[in-house]
């Protein structure tokens, strides 16, 4: 059978957004904090001793974000709509999933002392919204499938050029016809090359064949699988080679434009938690590259599977506090190594010149020879020092990709 065109594939992705439109019983606002087990599982309180994400911008490429929500007010920057039609503010099918993800990442709560509502992983980070998909209940989704197949790739490049530090992709295509798209892959590499970390959901096909999902499977992406409150792999979470780390994805409290709160599940939520974690790490260590941050998350993950990694949970559950602590030992890629502050304390670098003698014996010619050797050694040392300070090194290497679902934002 002929492989469907990219717009067609995106349609499958968009359909997956349905979970954002099927809310469970609304959670009471005054009981939200008690139900936010996901944030507690990431040890955010410990990470907040260092930073809460101030100065970091997280692009949420999704169904749109309601910046007027009490939990997000003042945190959401001006965004861009890459679809251009469909539901608008106030409609039942507008910005449900995107608002939920933004709350997980950077919600700051509201009310007295901000004690009510959703508190995100990086409450001082800014959200840059880009609408690249429509909710599954949006009557215009069919039209978007056929005419907006490049929205995700365009959104990734746009977010990068707008100065995003992290791009959250709680979406993806894990349909039977899912396949890599050159324009999306190129956009992801463009972002990574500009120093932007890309986080995506691994997919929700764990109970449907563990089909690979894109963009999670693109090289360099931090792909996130889901676990429950006991750290157990969620049955719906896709098991694939590209899994980097895991994060909470079951019974997650999310904010909604209708001013109510809902419980949702999916690797979309898991990806949002990790995007918040990356925001904290970047705020603490702004010079680290996407590859270094990805490796840092993998190296410091908690509850690592036997052998250090598996397809279900990657390297374990993301731990931003541990990553921040370990990141202090890393140097930004390309940064010069600092020369020793103490320097050489001897009179000469090397043996130095021999004392002068009055006779013409061996010592007479050994003196200049020794002095010449000292000069040579000094010259070699200078060359080596200059080489080392200009070359620089940096730990970490591009890691495997991860996937999210550009419309599959999880399920509720």
The per-residue DSSP string of 350-382 comes to SS-PPPP-SSSSHHHHHHHHHHHHHHHHHHHHH
Alpha-carbon span 262 to 101, nearest angstrom: 12
* Beta strand pairing call for 252-255 and 261-264: antiparallel
pLDDT for 392 equals 38
Alpha-carbon span 78 to 130, nearest angstrom: 9
Asked if 410 and 201 count as a contact pair (C-beta separation under 8 A), the reply is yes
Residue with tokens 């429509």: 134
Tens of pLDDT along 258-295? 999 999 999 999 999 999 999 999 999 999 999 999 99
The DSSP secondary structure of 143-186, one letter per residue, reads: HHHHH-TTHHHHHHHHHHHTT-SEEEE---B-STT----HHHHH
Asked if 20 and 62 count as a contact pair (C-beta separation under 8 A), the reply is no
Shortest CA distance to 406 belongs to which of 10, 129, 6?
10
User: Exposure of 282 by Cβ count < 10 A (0-12 exposed, 13-18 middle, 19+ buried)?
Assistant: buried
- Fill in the DSSP letter of residue 55: T
Alpha-carbon span 290 to 296, nearest angstrom: 10
Residue with tokens 């599940």: 265
pLDDT for 206 equals 95
pLDDT for 21 equals 34
Torsions phi, psi for 100 (to 5 deg): -60, -45
Instruction: Enumerate the β-bridge partners of residue 402.
Output: 218
Q: Residues with catalytic annotation?
A: 62, 97, 268
Alpha-carbon span 111 to 128, nearest angstrom: 24
- Fill in the DSSP letter of residue 222: E
- Fill in the DSSP letter of residue 336: P
pLDDT for 334 equals 65
CA atoms within 13 A on the CB side of 287: 12
User: Exposure of 77 by Cβ count < 10 A (0-12 exposed, 13-18 middle, 19+ buried)?
Assistant: middle
pLDDT for 107 equals 98
Kindly report the CATH class assigned to 6-327. alpha beta
pLDDT for 27 equals 66
Tens of pLDDT along 97-139? 999 999 999 999 999 989 899 999 999 999 999 999 999 999 9
For 37, 218, 376, the CA distances from 149, given in Å and listed in that order, are 36, 17, 64
Residue with tokens 């997000």: 72
- Fill in the DSSP letter of residue 399: -
For 101, 201, 282, 312, 313, the CA distances from 243, given in Å and listed in that order, are 20, 9, 21, 7, 7
Mean pLDDT by 10-residue block, N- to C-terminus, for the chain (412 residues)? 36 37 50 89 97 98 98 98 96 96 97 92 98 95 89 98 98 92 98 98 96 97 98 97 98 95 96 98 97 98 96 98 96 57 38 48 42 42 39 35 39 38
């Amino acid at each position: 059978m002929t492989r469907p065109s990219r717009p067609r594939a995106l349609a499958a992705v968009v359909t997956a957004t349905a979970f954002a439109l099927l809310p469970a019983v609304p959670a009471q606002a005054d009981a939200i904090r008690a139900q936010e087990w996901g944030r507690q599982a990431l040890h955010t309180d410990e990470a907040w001793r260092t930073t809460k994400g101030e100065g970091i911008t997280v692009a949420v490429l999704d169904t749109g974000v309601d910046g007027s929500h009490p939990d997000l007010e003042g945190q959401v920057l001006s965004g861009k709509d890459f679809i251009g039609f469909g539901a608008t503010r106030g409609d039942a099918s507008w910005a449900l999933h995107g608002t939920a993800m933004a709350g997980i990442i950077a919600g700051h709560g509201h009310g007295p002392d901000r004690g009510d509502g959703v508190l995100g992983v990086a409450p001082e980070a800014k959200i840059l919204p880009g609408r690249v998909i429509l909710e599954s209940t949006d009557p215009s989704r069919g039209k978007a499938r056929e005419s907006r197949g490049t929205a995700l790739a365009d959104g990734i490049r746009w977010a990068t050029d707008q100065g995003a530090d992290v791009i959250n992709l709680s979406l993806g295509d894990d349909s039977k016809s899912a396949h890599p798209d050159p324009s999306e892959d190129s956009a992801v590499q463009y972002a990574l090359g500009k120093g932007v970390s890309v986080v995506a959901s691994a997919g929700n096909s764990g109970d449907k064949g563990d089909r690979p999902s894109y963009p999670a499977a693109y090289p360099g992406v931090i792909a996130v699988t889901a676990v429950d409150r006991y750290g157990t792999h969620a049955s719906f979470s896709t098991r694939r080679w590209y899994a980097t780390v895991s994060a909470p994805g079951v019974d997650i409290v999310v904010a909604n434009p209708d001013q109510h709160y809902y419980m949702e599940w999916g690797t979309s939520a898991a990806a949002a938690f990790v995007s918040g974690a990356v925001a904290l790490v970047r705020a603490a260590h702004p010079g680290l590259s996407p590859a270094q941050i990805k490796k840092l998350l993998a190296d410091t993950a908690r509850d690592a599977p036997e052998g250090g990694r598996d397809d279900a949970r990657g390297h374990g559950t993301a731990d931003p506090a541990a990553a921040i602590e370990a990141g202090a030992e890393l140097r930004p890629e390309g940064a010069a190594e600092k020369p020793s502050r103490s320097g050489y304390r001897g009179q000469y670098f090397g043996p130095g010149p021999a004392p002068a003698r009055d006779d013409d014996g061996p010592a007479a010619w050994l003196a200049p020879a020794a002095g010449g050797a000292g000069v040579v050694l000094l010259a070699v040392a200078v060359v080596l020092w200059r080489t080392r300070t200009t070359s620089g090194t940096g730990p970490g290497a591009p890691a495997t990709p991860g996937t999210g679902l550009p419309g599959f934002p999880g399920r509720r």
